[in-house]
Structure 1
Amino acid sequence: MSFTLREVNSNKPWNLQVEAAGRPVMLTFWTSWCPDSNRDLQEKMRLYKHADSSKLCFVTINVTGREGTVDLQDYLEKQGFDFLVLKDEGTSVYDSFGCLGVPTTILLNERLEVVISYGEQAKLPEIMDGLTDLIK
Structure 2
Amino acid sequence: MDISSIRLFDIQESREVSLSEYRGKPCIITFWASWCPDSQRDLVRKHQLYQQMDKSELGFITINVVGREGNKLDGIKYMEQNQFQFPVLLDEGTKIYDLFECKGVPTTIILDEELVVRETFGERATFIEIMNGLAKVI
The TM-score range, normalised by the shorter chain, is over 0.9
| TM superposition shift of 1:9 | 3.3
| TM superposition shift of 1:27 | 0.3
| TM superposition shift of 1:71 | 4.0
CA contact (8 A) 2:12 2:86 kept: no
Deviations 1:81-127 (A, max 9, x none): 11000000000110000001000000000010000100001111101
TM-score under structure 1 normalisation?
0.94
- The corresponding residue for 1:72 is 75
Correspondence 1:39-50 to 2 at 5 A: 39-50=41-52
Question: How many equivalent pairs are there?
Answer: 134
1:38 is aligned, of 37, 40, 49, to: 40
Q: CA RMSD in A?
A: 1.1
CA contact (8 A) 1:105 1:117 kept: yes
Deviations 1:51-96 (A, max 9, x none): 1111110000000011121443332121121100000000011000
Correspondence 1:74-93 to 2 at 5 A: 74-93=77-96
Supply the distance in 1 between the matched residues of 2:104 and 2:83 (Cα, whole angstroms). 24
Structure 1 stretches lacking a partner, 5+ long: none
- The structure 1 segments of at least 4 consecutive aligned residues displaced by more than 2 Å after TM superposition are 70-74
Residue identity opposite 1:79 in structure 2? N
Structure 2 stretches lacking a partner, 5+ long: none
Deviations 1:24-63 (A, max 9, x none): 1100000000000000000111111111111110000000
| TM superposition shift of 1:5 | 0.3
Which has the larger displacement, 55-64 or 72-81?
A: 72-81
- The corresponding residue for 2:121 is 118
